[in-house]
Amino acid sequence: MKKVLLCCAMGASSSIFEAKIKDYITKSNIELDIVAKSVNDVKSLMKKNDYDCILLAPQTAYYKKDFEKRYADRNVLITDISPADYGAMNGEKVVKELLQVLEGK
């Protein structure tokens, strides 16, 4: 099962988006574990867990290069969510795109 860390600035909006994603993956019987946390929690979570992907909310997209450099040796995909999909809370589209990217990893 792939593990995804969904990052947001404070963790509030991403927890709502996490619920949308979990609804979709449950209905679709997709094996994906996702947890939403604030960007401040990433460093400690990455020490304790092996995530396959860090998924960045639009307000944290500027962390992408830093995370790619910091976790280069861990083979962690760092990707972001489009502002339109995040604003619409389109969990289905984000999951479908994420699965395609993870399969190509």
Instruction: For the domain covering 2-103, report its CATH number.
Output: 3.40.50.2300
8 by Cβ neighbours in 10 Å (0-12 / 13-18 / 19+) ranks as buried
- Other CB atoms within a 10 A radius of the CB of residue 5 amount to 25
Render each residue's pLDDT in the chain as its tens digit; 105 residues.
899 999 988 767 788 899 999 999 999 999 999 999 988 899 899 988 889 999 999 999 999 999 999 999 988 999 999 999 999 999 999 999 999 988 875
> What count of Cα atoms within 13 Å lies in the side-chain half-sphere of residue 81?
32
Residue 89's SS3 state is coil
Tokens of 51: 């995530």
